[in-house]
Amino acid sequence: MTEREIEAYCINNGIPFKRQVVGGVETLRVMETTQLPMPMREACDERGFVKADPIQAPAEVEEVKPSPLRGKLPADFPGHAALEAEGLTTYAKVRKRLSDLTSIPGIGEATAEKITAAMGESSADEEEQEQTNEDARSSEETSGS
């Protein structure tokens, strides 16, 4: 029995319960365990707390990346006027130009950094792209000589 199953049963059957923090962990406490069916009652200790079940705990927590921002840029977005003058009015359009923001009139290094931060892009991604661009330039110079 999972905590969620017991909680759902309590809600559906009007059995009082509380969520409490015990040992730094939030847990479910059923106030009247005698109203629970036997398998659910056995999942609770003598005080009504749902016992932890290590089998149900996830082995690893997978890091979830936030989805990219979408839609029109808000009016308070860094460099908004300069971006708009360049026709970059949406997050998608700005995302395509992240590597060359300083080539846009009115966008300097400081504003480019603010835009990159607002887009949620890491400087590591930017540095990787910059390195790729440098490698491509070096390759062109070598083959052109």
pLDDT in tens, 74-126: 999 999 999 999 999 998 899 899 899 999 999 999 999 999 888 875 444 44
Q: Does residue 111 form part of some domain? A: yes
The structure tokens 């390195």 sit at 131
71 and 121 housed in the same domain:
yes
Residue 18: partners with Cβ closer than 8 Å, 6 or more residues away: 28, 29, 31
Residues, the chain? 145
35 and 81 housed in the same domain:
no
User: Considering the entire predicted model, what is its pTM?
Assistant: 0.41
26 and 84 housed in the same domain:
no
The structure tokens 């846009």 sit at 104
Mean of all residue pLDDT scores within the chain:
78
Q: Does residue 24 form part of some domain? A: yes
Range of the domain at 74: 67-133
Residue 60: partners with Cβ closer than 8 Å, 6 or more residues away: none
**Residue 4, pLDDT score:** 86
Q: Does residue 61 form part of some domain? A: no
33 and 72 housed in the same domain:
no
Taking residues 44-51, report their average pLDDT: 87
Residue 21's pLDDT band, with cuts at 50, 70 and 90, is confident
**Domains: count for the chain:** 2
Residue 25's pLDDT band, with cuts at 50, 70 and 90, is confident
Q: Does residue 112 form part of some domain? A: yes
Q: Does residue 126 form part of some domain? A: yes
Residue 118: partners with Cβ closer than 8 Å, 6 or more residues away: 77, 78
Q: Does residue 55 form part of some domain? A: no
121 and 78 housed in the same domain:
yes
30 and 83 housed in the same domain:
no
